Amino acid sequence: MARNEAVFYEIKCRSNKKDFYLRYDFAYDEKWVLTYGLKSLPAEDARESSSFGNRKSTIDISQARTGPQYKCPYCGTRGFVRCGSCGKLTCYDHSGHFTCAHCGNSGAVSGQIKDMDGSKHTSQR
Ligand SMILES: [Zn+2]
Ligand SMILES: [Zn+2]
């Protein structure tokens, strides 16, 4: 049985620097799936995750997959990077170069996208 559970991460769009949220759902096959990029948290989820930002929900991204419907709600890219300087997330278009929407740090993206714990993100669709 799938757990009725979703985890949200704050992220910013690289193009307009607006906040949005990555939504991960725990799927029937016991994998986390990045399902949606949301401009705001749904009211019910906001209530449930009222400790958002305090409670650490750690997901093993190397075991997660990106759902076909996921994209940045602002610019439509399907990737994201974590800034090596401030540790926050910014959407990413796989161009090989990124600019952090939070702190302005920029540089080349080396290797695969890393997960929230620093282990490899293997993209398996
Ligand atoms: Zn974006
Ligand atoms: Zn940064």
| Ligand in closest contact with the CA of 12 | 1
Q: Point out the ligand nearest to the CA of residue 83.
A: 2
CA of 85 to the centre of ligand 2 (A): 5
- 95 versus 111: the higher-pLDDT residue is 95
Sheet hosting strand 6-12, strand order edge to edge: 65-66, 32-38, 19-26, 6-12, 89-92, 79-82
Sequence spans of domains, the chain: 6-108
Residues 58-110 pLDDT 10s: 777 778 899 999 999 999 999 998 888 898 999 998 888 889 999 999 988 86
Ligand that lies nearest to the alpha carbon of residue 102, given by its number in the listed order: 2
Provide mean pLDDT across the span 40-63: 64
| Mean pLDDT score across all residues of the chain | 79
